[in-house]
Amino acid sequence: MWSRVRGWGGTAGGCRRLAGGLLAGPASGWEAAAGVARLEGRTRSKTQKLFSTSSVLSTEKDESTASKDSTTEMASKRQEGTPETPKQKLLDIIGNMKVEVSYRKKLQQLKTRETKKQATNKLEGPDGEGTVLQGTTEEIQRGRPLNPELVEAASAVASSLPLNKKQTESELLAQLRRHEETTDKQKKGGTINIRNVISEMAVKRQSPAQRGVRISNRIFLDLDEDGQKLKPGRLSPRSFDSRRSLKVGGRLNIFTKASPETENALKTVSSPTIWDLEFAKEIAAITAQPPRNGFEEMIQWTKEGILWEFPIDNEAGMEDDAEFHEHIFLEKHLEDFPKQGPIRHFMELVICGLSKNPYLSVKQKIEHIEWFQKYFEEKKEFLQEI
Amino acid sequence: MAARRLRGSSWQQVVSLSRRCCFLGGRRENYRCSSSSTALGKTVDNSEVTQEEIVLPRKKTWDKLAVLQTLASTVNRDPTAAHYMFQDDPFLMPRNAANSRLFSLSKESGRNTAKYIIKQFPQYFDKTFAEPNVPCLMPETLTPQIEGVSEEALKERIHLRRVKDSVDLFDQLVQAGTPVSLETTNSLLDLLCFYGDGESTLEKEEEKEDLEEPGVKASEQKAPKRQFQRGSQSSGSRWRENNNAERIFKIMPERNAHSYCTMIRGMVKHGASAKAYDMYIDLLNERHKADVHTFNALITAVPYLKERFVERWELAKVFLNHMAQQEVQPNLLTFNAVLKTLRRCGGVGRSMSLLVIKEMEALDIEPSLATYDHLLFIFYRGVDLCPSGIISEVLDDIQKRSFTPQDPDDANFFATAMQACCDLKDIKLAYQLNKAMEKGDNWKFVDMDRLNAYWSKFFSLLCMMEQIDVVLKWYKEMSPSLFYPTPKNILDLLQALDAANHLEVIPSVWEDMKQLGFNRRQDLLEELLSLMSREQHPDEIQLAFAKCAEDIKAVHEQTGREQTPVEWTASALGHVALLFSRAGRTQDAWNMMEHFQQINRIPTDQVMDEFLNCAKQTNCPDEAIKLVKLAASLGLPSSQRLKSRTEKEFVLSEKQKKTLESIKSDSDSSDSDSDSDSDRD
């Protein structure tokens, strides 16, 4: 029992180290996690506290519920359903960690708790597994090549399984190497499109070599498609249907996500065809509802241009881009005129009239004043004679 | 220290903020929109701003709808009133679903007629120019302005969507030997393919969404015939052999991908799926690439191309793979088309649809309501119901998001989902769905017709699963303002009332039934009467019931103008008589008893006993004797018992006693006698 707990803790610790290392720099995260790993075995309550996944620990005997839990929790990140063989579990765990690593690289978010959860949730197999994983994850984290110890551990796992030993071992190691590759790649160049890496991995995991692994999970089998396997009649049992979920299962793997550049390139600028116009109309018609009250009707009318716009103000329809004070206070245009005398008086009357005239634009009014200015300028001599 | 510094900097921010606002306002920008966060973000260039002159905003620009929107948000739905669109005319308040549909259609068609007249006779609408001009009220210029045979003229005709004119002009151009540019020819093809070579009638395209027939889609699913699915796909015209589009396509000197694509889309739209597929093969042979819309069209055509489910899926997958090969990025509509095809792939659809959803997720394409609609249809419209896992996940997703219309099928979602909730008999899911529907602008996705279906399903489910108080609360809340109950809803409500032992509400339900125009429906009347007459109730309830019975009697006796009167059935008669008797209305009850004889039906023993009780209570020995007579004349075995009861329980005069005696003696030969008796009454 204790060793089992330790096993979990070990993986969780390893996983945490992965996360922490990337987050807080290699040294500190590593140190803390190592501490956790050392501490973990002492008391059970402590373990629970540390990993905050007591639900899994308490329901460990009930494997089915636990695995169900895990499926729902893992749903978004996992490609397969619940695993059957311990080996498959192992592969899953590794796969999940991979995904987690890349996510962390990209998002740099604090999801440590989740990761832990996943790791602990997943580990329900025999004791050996846990220890091996502890080792492997450590190795991976440090970015070392696969050392003999690891290979030995993997073969130990393989021999503990009922299936083909050689195959299992090589698969395990292959998976570990692949994992390591990814880690290295991402360490070196942070510019790799993470999503592509993930999707690539997903494809690999469904490659024939992996498929050879016997998975009795029917969802996986079903989603493994190829058409022939899917006879409508065979897919009806309720127990199968009930496991269906939007969050579990694979994808079609036909498309790859386009990078933003190609997406932009694809957007060809062309004038909309009749198809586009009519489609837009059709879409707009979906949510076109008759107005529910008088105000909504007025909104509709305003949009159509029937109704005078709200709020009604004295600037509506003001097109010459001038304001009322420019229309009304025209004294400033009289500076070039004499300060007093009959001309001044006359001009004051003129601007008074202009300021009341709504039909002329400001420009026209100024032109009008300027005309008088020019006129009086021309007649200056005669005026002075008088 | 730190606090002081903070205060100092925030003061500076305020200053710069106000300056910025002024500055923006001076440029006549809508500075209300320049939220403080953007202004705060630019406090760095504080020192440069200080030199700027403070300019007062010349004009404050308001959103022209802001005031109205605020006001509109203060108006709530009045649960007792009909929809706003009916409130113009109190005489045209709809009373039931059929009425409301008819009236809304009439209103809309009136509008369309007015538009048609304006467009058809623009010459009569040249006098009233508004100041400022209101363009939407003025007739559009639909007559081509450019005369003569030229490509410009052709372009204009295409723009005005004059299908026939465009084709004629194109032919003239070709005959004259004038080359028409590829672009113009393509847009002509667009036009022809969109309208399927039929004339573009303006009304057809301007149909409002609440005029759409949802039945079109239903029939579409039932006819997966290969090529000759006449009238099954879209309501538009069918693709004819060698029509103008095909002809022009053939004589085109050069064709590009667009020419092929538009042909394929047109063929799919107008039901020539096999031709579309051949055209696609041609396109591939010419080493062109199809665009995403064309693939979407092809995927929707898959069910018409293949019969077997697996083959359909394989073909859809072929198209998807071609897309990937041709580097065409799929969009939301692609996956919706795939799911729509999977709707018609039986069990294959169930397993594959989830893969499709995952693929969308992987490509960061957010599902629209149509996506969920297809998904729910695939999982919950089969013979065997799936467990509620998928739908609850879907609803969880929907609650988290707000939706904009993206796919024409988006409108179906809420009705489909409610149907699924109904089939699953899961009231919690229904509540969840309803909450999602009322969130934000989601309600807009449900048009008038679907709204009625949606609410009536919801209401039936409520009747089935909820406490009667809750049901009645909902009923009051939504009955005339949100939907008009169907007869089935009323039946459900009656059953719910029965189950909860709340029969005293029946009279008000009857009032509603009259309002809804269901007072002539036999099944409802029978149910109502049998519920009312099943047990003895307190007096006041009995009186109210008797009033309902009177109404129902009136319905049966009404000789309307063109309506045939509702036929009495024996049970209805018996129930009405019973209700009258229990309310102590002996004379009314007797009238009903007489009806039995008129329509040659036999009252049950219970009815006659109750009538006798009533006669006894109201002290009407005459009626009792009449009943005995009636029973005897109908030759009922109970007549003897009734007679002895009458003798025992009533205080009879000598004459009455004699009459009673005489009934016995000529019971077997008194048919004519009793007939004349009843005639005398």
Q: What average pLDDT does this structure show over B104-116?
A: 92
Q: State the pLDDT at residue B141.
A: 72
Output the 3-class SS for B664-677: HHCCCCCHHHHHHH
* Cα atoms in the 13 Å half-sphere on the side-chain side of B480: 19
Interatomic CA distance for residues A197 and A256, integer angstroms? 11
Q: Are residues B636 and B655 in the same domain?
A: yes
Residue B386: its chain A contacts at CB < 8 A? 241-242, 244
Encoded amino acid at A232, one letter: P
Q: State the pLDDT at residue A92.
A: 58
* Cα atoms in the 13 Å half-sphere on the side-chain side of A61: 2
Of all residues in chain B, the one with the smallest CA distance to A250 is B355
Is A111 a residue whose pLDDT tops 60?
no
Of all residues in chain A, the one with the smallest CA distance to B396 is A246
Is B279 a residue whose pLDDT tops 90?
yes
pLDDT band at A119 (very low <50, low <70, confident <90, very high): very low
Q: Are residues B610 and B573 in the same domain?
A: no
| Short-list A117, A143, A125, CA closest to A87 | A125
Q: Is the pTM of this model over 0.90?
A: no
Q: State the pLDDT at residue B264.
A: 95
For chain B, helix (H) and strand (E) counts, in that order, are 34, 0
> Do B355 and A223 count as a contact with CB atoms less than 8 A apart?
yes
CA A66 to chain centre: 29
Q: Where are the alpha helices (DSSP H) in A40-77?
A: 44-51, 54-58, 63-74
B346 close contact with A: CB closer than 8 A: yes
Q: State the pLDDT at residue A186.
A: 53
Q: What average pLDDT does this structure show over A122-142?
A: 42
Q: What average pLDDT does this structure show over A31-51?
A: 40
Specify if B256 maps to a domain. no
> Do B351 and A222 count as a contact with CB atoms less than 8 A apart?
yes
Specify if B545 maps to a domain. yes
Q: In this structure, which long-range contacts are made by residues B621-627, counting pairs with CB atoms below 8 Å and at least 24 apart in sequence?
A: B621/B646, B621/B650, B621/B651, B621/B652, B621/B653, B621/B656, B622/B656, B623/B586, B623/B587, B623/B590, B624/B650, B625/B652, B625/B656, B625/B659, B625/B660, B625/B663, B626/B590, B626/B593, B626/B677, B626/B681, B627/B590, B627/B593
Please check whether residue A92 is in contact with residue A80, taking contact to mean a CB–CB distance below 8 angstroms: yes
pLDDT tens digits, one per residue of B228-260: 333 334 445 688 888 899 999 998 888 899 999
Is B360 a residue whose pLDDT tops 60?
yes
Joined tokens for residue B515: 């309002």
Q: What DSSP character marks residue A254? A: -
Q: State the pLDDT at residue B322.
A: 93
C-alpha distances (whole Å) from B279 to each of B6, B70, B259, B271, B305 are 71, 53, 10, 14, 13
Q: State the pLDDT at residue A203.
A: 40
B136 close contact with A: CB closer than 8 A: yes
Percent of all residues in chain B with a pLDDT value above 70, rounded to a whole number: 81
Number of domains in chain B: 3
Cα of B482 to nearest chain A Cα, Å: 11
Is A237 a residue whose pLDDT tops 60?
no
pLDDT band at A172 (very low <50, low <70, confident <90, very high): low
pLDDT band at B122 (very low <50, low <70, confident <90, very high): confident
Please check whether residue B465 is in contact with residue B425, taking contact to mean a CB–CB distance below 8 angstroms: yes
Q: What DSSP character marks residue B65? A: T
Cα of B464 to nearest chain A Cα, Å: 25
Q: State the pLDDT at residue A136.
A: 42
CB atoms within 10 A of CB B583: 22
Q: When comparing pLDDT for A222 and A177, which is higher?
A: A177
Of all residues in chain B, the one with the smallest CA distance to A233 is B347
Q: State the pLDDT at residue A314.
A: 62
B405 close contact with A: CB closer than 8 A: yes
Q: What average pLDDT does this structure show over A151-174?
A: 60
Q: What average pLDDT does this structure show over B437-450?
A: 88
Output the 3-class SS for B491-526: HHHHHHHHHCCCHHHHHHHHHHHHHHCCCCCHHHHH
Q: Which residue, chain included where needed, has tokens 């970015």?
A: A143
Of A371-385, B41-55, B354-368, the one with minimum mean pLDDT is B41-55
Q: State the pLDDT at residue A79.
A: 43
pLDDT tens digits, one per residue of B617-645: 888 888 888 888 888 888 888 888 888 88
Give exposure, B621-649, as e/b (b: 16+ Cβ within 10 Å): bbbbbbbbbbbbbbebebbebbbebbeee
Q: What average pLDDT does this structure show over B201-216?
A: 40
Residue A309: its chain B contacts at CB < 8 A? 64
Q: Are residues B510 and B596 in the same domain?
A: yes
B399 close contact with A: CB closer than 8 A: no
Output the 3-class SS for B125-136: HCCCCCCCCCHH
Q: When comparing pLDDT for A37 and A289, which is higher?
A: A289
pLDDT tens digits, one per residue of B469-514: 999 999 998 888 888 999 999 999 999 999 999 999 999 999 999 9
| A8: Cβ contacts below 8 Å, ≥ 6 apart | A47, A51, A57, A119, A120, A123, A130
Interatomic CA distance for residues A30 and B3, integer angstroms? 38
| Short-list A77, A274, A333, A252, CA closest to B265 | A274
Q: State the pLDDT at residue B664.
A: 60
A194 close contact with B: CB closer than 8 A: no
Residue A283: its chain B contacts at CB < 8 A? 405-408
B288 close contact with A: CB closer than 8 A: no
Percent of all residues in chain A with a pLDDT value above 70, rounded to a whole number: 30
Is A50 a residue whose pLDDT tops 60?
no
Percent of all residues in chain B with a pLDDT value above 90, rounded to a whole number: 40
Cβ-Cβ pairs closer than 8 A, A with B, add up to: 188
| A314: Cβ contacts below 8 Å, ≥ 6 apart | A324
pLDDT tens digits, one per residue of B534-574: 888 898 999 999 999 999 998 888 766 667 778 888 899 99
pLDDT tens digits, one per residue of B584-607: 888 899 988 888 888 888 888 889
Specify if B651 maps to a domain. yes
Is B116 a residue whose pLDDT tops 50?
yes
Interatomic CA distance for residues A101 and A22, integer angstroms? 8
> Do B348 and A230 count as a contact with CB atoms less than 8 A apart?
yes
Interface test mutation site (partner B, options A230, A255, A323, max chain B beta carbons within 10 A) = A255
- Enter the ipTM: 0.76
Domain boundaries, chain A: 148-187, 324-384
Q: Which residue, chain included where needed, has tokens 């009357």?
A: A349
A247 close contact with B: CB closer than 8 A: yes
Q: What average pLDDT does this structure show over A241-264?
A: 71
Specify if B363 maps to a domain. no
| B281: Cβ contacts below 8 Å, ≥ 6 apart | none
Q: State the pLDDT at residue A321.
A: 67
pLDDT band at B193 (very low <50, low <70, confident <90, very high): very high
Of A278-282, A322-326, B404-408, B505-509, the one with minimum mean pLDDT is A322-326
Cα of A213 to nearest chain B Cα, Å: 21
A296 close contact with B: CB closer than 8 A: yes
Output the 3-class SS for B424-450: HCCHHHHHHHHHHHHCCCHHHHCCHHH
Q: State the pLDDT at residue B636.
A: 84
Interatomic CA distance for residues B86 and A166, integer angstroms? 79
What does the radius of gyration of chain B's CA atoms come to, in whole angstroms? 37
Q: Are residues B595 and B608 in the same domain?
A: no
Question: What range does the domain containing B576 cover?
Answer: 503-558+565-601
Interatomic CA distance for residues B561 and A54, integer angstroms? 78
CB atoms within 10 A of CB A149: 12
B23 close contact with A: CB closer than 8 A: no
C-alpha distances (whole Å) from B429 to each of A253, B382, B393, B433 are 32, 19, 10, 6
Is A315 a residue whose pLDDT tops 80?
no
Q: Are residues B531 and B573 in the same domain?
A: yes
Specify if B414 maps to a domain. no
Q: Are residues B593 and B626 in the same domain?
A: no
pLDDT band at A134 (very low <50, low <70, confident <90, very high): very low
Please check whether residue A59 is in contact with residue A72, taking contact to mean a CB–CB distance below 8 angstroms: no
Please check whether residue B604 is in contact with residue B576, taking contact to mean a CB–CB distance below 8 angstroms: no
pLDDT tens digits, one per residue of B298-324: 999 999 999 999 999 999 999 999 999
Helix axes A2-24, A112-122, angle to 10 degrees: 150
Interatomic CA distance for residues B263 and B156, integer angstroms? 21
C-alpha distances (whole Å) from A12 to each of A9, A97, A158, A275, B51 are 5, 10, 22, 56, 60
State whether residue A318 is helix, strand or coil: coil
Q: Which of A252, A275, A292 sits opposite B356 (nearest CB)?
A: A252
Is A265 a residue whose pLDDT tops 60?
no
DSSP letter for each residue of A130-195 = HHHHHHHHHHHHHTPPPPHHHHHHHHHHHHHSSS-HHHHHHHHHHHHHHHHHHHHHHHH-TTS-HH
| B298: Cβ contacts below 8 Å, ≥ 6 apart | B264, B268, B276, B277, B280, B290, B319
Residue A288: its chain B contacts at CB < 8 A? 208-209, 444
Q: State the pLDDT at residue A262.
A: 60
Q: Are residues B521 and B595 in the same domain?
A: yes
Specify if B552 maps to a domain. yes
Joined tokens for residue A249: 């299962």
Burial status of residue B672 (CB atoms within 10 A of its CB: 0-12, 13-18, 19 or more): exposed
Sign of CA dihedral B623, B627, B628, B630: positive
Please check whether residue B463 is in contact with residue B496, taking contact to mean a CB–CB distance below 8 angstroms: yes
Q: State the pLDDT at residue A21.
A: 36
> Do B64 and A310 count as a contact with CB atoms less than 8 A apart?
yes
Average pLDDT across chain A, whole number = 59
Interface test mutation site (partner B, options A231, A246, A279, A362, max chain B beta carbons within 10 A) = A246
Interatomic CA distance for residues A215 and A211, integer angstroms? 8
Of A38-42, A83-87, B501-505, the one with minimum mean pLDDT is A38-42
B103 close contact with A: CB closer than 8 A: no
Q: Are residues B576 and B640 in the same domain?
A: no
| B181: Cβ contacts below 8 Å, ≥ 6 apart | B151
pLDDT band at B374 (very low <50, low <70, confident <90, very high): very high
Please check whether residue A282 is in contact with residue B411, taking contact to mean a CB–CB distance below 8 angstroms: no
B400 close contact with A: CB closer than 8 A: no
- Answer whether the bond into residue A311 is a cis peptide, omega within 30°: yes
Q: State the pLDDT at residue A130.
A: 39
Encoded amino acid at A201, one letter: M
Q: State the pLDDT at residue B139.
A: 79
Interatomic CA distance for residues A378 and A375, integer angstroms? 5
Q: State the pLDDT at residue B55.
A: 82
Q: Which of A236, A256, A295 sits opposite B72 (nearest CB)?
A: A295
pLDDT band at B208 (very low <50, low <70, confident <90, very high): very low
Q: What DSSP character marks residue B412? A: G
Is A61 a residue whose pLDDT tops 60?
no
> Do B136 and A305 count as a contact with CB atoms less than 8 A apart?
yes
Q: What DSSP character marks residue B420? A: H
